[in-house]
Structure 1
Amino acid sequence: MTSIIINKASSEDLETLQSIGKQTFAETFSADNSEEAMKEYLEKSFNTEKIKTELNNPDSFFFIAWEEDNPVGYLKVNSGKAQTELQDETSLEIERIYVKSSHHSKKVGQLLYDQALEIAQNLKKSYLWLGVWEKNLRALNFYRKNGFIEFDKHIFRLGTDEQTDLMMKKVLE
């Protein structure tokens, strides 16, 4: 495998983020959700205006993992008011780490997580937090391996389906 490069995304990467975002979310969750719910979520979450707004938010950061000219994963982190829930000034939220299924078990997710950890340390945050679907065992194992512990739950709505996300955090030294 060629080496993976992690680059901060900018407005020029909007279409790449839309494409990889839709692909990786669909690969991860299509088998467990209705086609209609998936279509609705992907259109809402990855439409041009939403991604453009998120890219322009000074408290949100996107990074894309590249294998040569091929995007293979991405990361989105939020601080301050950009956080989806806690909005604690001392924390950094990992909103998304997604990797193409073709690159699972190739350490791409670890590289993206390491980028999030570096951002949290540079911003002098006390902890990282995230929400992960309770049935996404691959992700749960990944975060536990990286020192995250569960601290709460919340409901994630996909279409009309209410799914339970486990809230996890990692306190930083």
Structure 2
Amino acid sequence: MENMTLEQVTLADLDALRAISIETFTDTFGSYNTPEDLAVYLETSYDPAKLKEEIQTEDSYFYFVKDATSGEVLAYLKLNLNDAQTEAFEEASLEIERIYVRPAFKRRGIGQFLMTHAIETAKSMGLTHIWLGVWEHNENAQKFYAKNGFQRRGEHVFMVGDDRQVDYILMKDISA
């Protein structure tokens, strides 16, 4: 997709970040969860105070993809380094915690644009690996990550309300 800008999210963007988080998570996972579990997850994970803390966390970085003409937010990316990562690995690594593309803008190359940015960021920092968690039933995302050279390294539990779900841990060696 052409005509996009990438901008780091600030506290002034908190409401927009919360809105796109709820929209994209609900679109992708809403039909696979009970309304009660989904509501609990959205309320706790995207609580304004929690998002504010995440934005202010050292070594966590949020980026919006915006339409360069209209300024409309199309997607966002969250990256974590060092102690901000949700898992610890021996490798010098960067975590992609979220690539969230709004439903109306999927399949336009935005996910690849964000993936490229994440990989370039990790390489510029001298890191050797990039990793992420992906839900075991999110086959479209798994195909996208496999196309980008990620391989399964393990798994962990991801809670949506009271529902224990499995995320696969995928990793890519970027040292070459």
Task: Give the TM-score range, shorter chain.
Answer: over 0.9
Q: Which residue of 2 aligns with 1:99?
A: 101
Does 1:123 pair with 2:163?
Answer: no
Tell me the TM-score normalised to structure 2 length: 0.94
Does 1:24 pair with 2:24?
Answer: yes
Please give the per-residue CA displacement for 1:37-69, whole angstroms capped at 9, x wherever unaligned.
111111111111111111111200000111232
- Aligned-residue Cα RMSD (Å) equals 1.3
Aligned match for 2:170, one of 156, 168, 171: 168
Contact 2:11 2:52 in 1 (8 A): yes
Change (3 A) 1:88 1:94: farther
Deviation (angstroms), 1:2: 5.7
The AA in structure 2 aligned to 1:139 is: A
Distance of 1:45 and 1:120 partners within structure 2: 26
Could you tell me which runs of 5 or more consecutive residues in structure 1 were left unpaired when the two chains were aligned.
Answer: none
Distance of 1:58 and 1:121 partners within structure 2: 19
Change (3 A) 1:88 1:23: farther
Deviation (angstroms), 1:72: 1.1
Distance of 2:93 and 2:54 partners within structure 1: 18
Q: Superposed, which structure 2 residues align to 1:8-157 within 5 Å?
A: 8-67=8-67, 68-86=70-88, 88=90, 90-157=92-159
Contact 1:75 1:98 in 2 (8 A): yes
Percent identity (aligned): 38
Deviation (angstroms), 1:89: 6.8
The aligned length equals 173
Distance of 1:48 and 1:14 partners within structure 2: 7
The AA in structure 1 aligned to 2:43 is: E
Show structure 1 runs of 4+ deviating over 2 A: none
The AA in structure 1 aligned to 2:42 is: L
Distance of 2:140 and 2:108 partners within structure 1: 13
Please give the per-residue CA displacement for 1:68-127, whole angstroms capped at 9, x wherever unaligned.
321111000100000011265711000000101111110011111111112111211110
Contact 1:80 1:87 in 2 (8 A): no
Distance of 2:2 and 2:72 partners within structure 1: 11
